[in-house]
A and B are shown apart, each in its own frame.
Chain A
Amino acid sequence: MRESCEIPAAEILPAAEALLARQGIGAGADPPARVRALCQEARALFGELARGRALWEEISAAEFGALFAGEGRNAPETPLGGIYPRATRLVLYLVTLGPAIGARITELFAGRDFALASMLDAAASEGAERLERRIEQRFDEGPRQRALCYSPGYCGWDISGQRALFARLRPGEIGVTLRESCLMEPLKSISGVIAVGPPRIHDFAPRHSFCGECRSRNCRERIARILEA
């Protein structure tokens, strides 16, 4: 079943600490007042400009298998390749903050308001991830059936997978289009599949060819989050 919804900016407004963390300012740090003021200004702009929208559609494992194979450009072995056949539910999704916030970031950079532009960019990235987690949580069924998002461009799922995902999900209705290079417009959008199943299906050792090149390793945090919960 295909569904969409709007989520008010206030519900996905990032915490000031999260914005500061994205600027390299950790919890124990004491940034000067002008940096805190920038953070508050960015949060206010986020509230004014972000238009959270989400679209999702359930898909069978067989259908997803074909979609995931895409143009045959995935890494030979991927975590998702082992996860999706064991999932009890698979849901294609796309979330976006809409075009206004990205346009303002561009304007701020062009107007040399670099610090505010950078802070607003951090707010938008954090906000898009909060929006994604909101949709993920809709499908989380408790300790025995955990939901986790996986996106093209990460963990061996080639970015060209966006074409098959877009063909199926048709996110034009929420204003998201795909560039030739498989990047989304507006930029502050996230797409992928939510895999729902027993927590252990999401667990994998980071020993894939691409893991050596990945320094974020946020997969470990994600997996720990659902295994510990």
Chain B
Amino acid sequence: MEILEKIAAQLQQGEEEEVAALTQRAIDAQIEPKQILDQGLIGGMNVVGELFRDHEIFLPEVLLAAKAMHAGLDRLKPLLEAADVPSRGKVILGTVQGDLHDIGKNLVGIMLRGAGFEVIDLGNDVSPERFVQAAKENDAAVIGMSALLTTTMPVMKQVITLLTEAGLGSRVRTIIGGAPVSGDFAQQIGADAYAYDGANAVEQIKALTV
């Protein structure tokens, strides 16, 4: 549908006002909210994610597109809620206890929302208990943990241990990221996945929640 393609194209340019106006036009034209979301907004963000992954655009351009996506989503949200359209899944995000570096985690959250996930961002300096409690309370599919300090990496293992002890190990998947973290470390501590950047985190979480 032409208008959905226009939404996706304007979103890729980070034109928030255009995206909001076009989304409203699509709503007024009685296009299904889920279709506007999937083909217009998420469709546009998927292209942005691919361009970023392929180093064809820069991070600030991804973030401008994310803002435009939210402008469209604001128009759609009441309709999506009324129609009880489910999200792709809930993801708990946080920077682990003892660590304050949360910019990378914030970017992952923005990109996950752009991909249609519901994100519960616990912020930085998050204790293992808070991660597990939030996963329980929100019936989350995934816990995403970030660390920049090597000294805080062991907290990631504590979260996974606590999750297993709470009987949630098989239901709630875990993914880790951050400068000192690696795929080998993820394996060592029993995390389900490792992401090297925001775009990769979205791909990994999509795979975990299939």
Interface residues of A (CB under 8 A from B): 23-25, 29, 31-32, 34-35, 38, 109, 112-115, 117-119, 121-122, 153-154, 156, 158-159, 179, 181-184, 187, 210, 213-216
Give the docked Cα–Cα distance between A23 and B64 (Å). 13
Give the docked Cα–Cα distance between A187 and B102 (Å). 11
Q: Using Cβ atoms and an 8 Å threshold, which residues of chain A touch B149?
A: 153-154, 159
Q: Using Cβ atoms and an 8 Å threshold, which residues of chain B touch A24?
A: 58-59
Interface residues of B (CB under 8 A from A): 14, 58-61, 63-64, 66-67, 70, 97-100, 103, 106-107, 110, 124-125, 149-153, 179-182, 185
Q: Using Cβ atoms and an 8 Å threshold, which residues of chain A touch B182?
A: 213, 215
The answer to whether A118 touches B67 (Cβ under 8 A) is no
Give the docked Cα–Cα distance between A121 and B100 (Å). 12
Report if A34-B64 is in contact (Cβ < 8 Å); known contacts: A153-B149, A216-B179: yes
Give the docked Cα–Cα distance between A182 and B98 (Å). 6
Q: A153-B152, A158-B151, A213-B182 are in contact. List 5 more A-B contacts (CB 8 A).
A: A34-B14, A35-B58, A114-B106, A213-B185, A215-B180
Which of A32, A115, A117, A159 touches B98 (beta carbons < 8 Å)? A159
List the 4 closest A-B pairs by CB distance, nearest first. A115-B63, A114-B63, A115-B60, A183-B100
Which of A115, A187, A213 touches B64 (beta carbons < 8 Å)? A115
Interface centre among A32, A181, A182, A184 (most CB of B within 10 A): A181
24 A-B pairs (CB sep. < 8 Å): A23-B60, A24-B59, A25-B59, A32-B61, A34-B60, A35-B61, A38-B60, A109-B106, A112-B66, A114-B64, A114-B67, A114-B106, A114-B110, A115-B63, A118-B106, A119-B60, A182-B98, A183-B125, A210-B151, A213-B153, A213-B182, A213-B185, A215-B180, A216-B180
Give the docked Cα–Cα distance between A143 and B182 (Å). 38
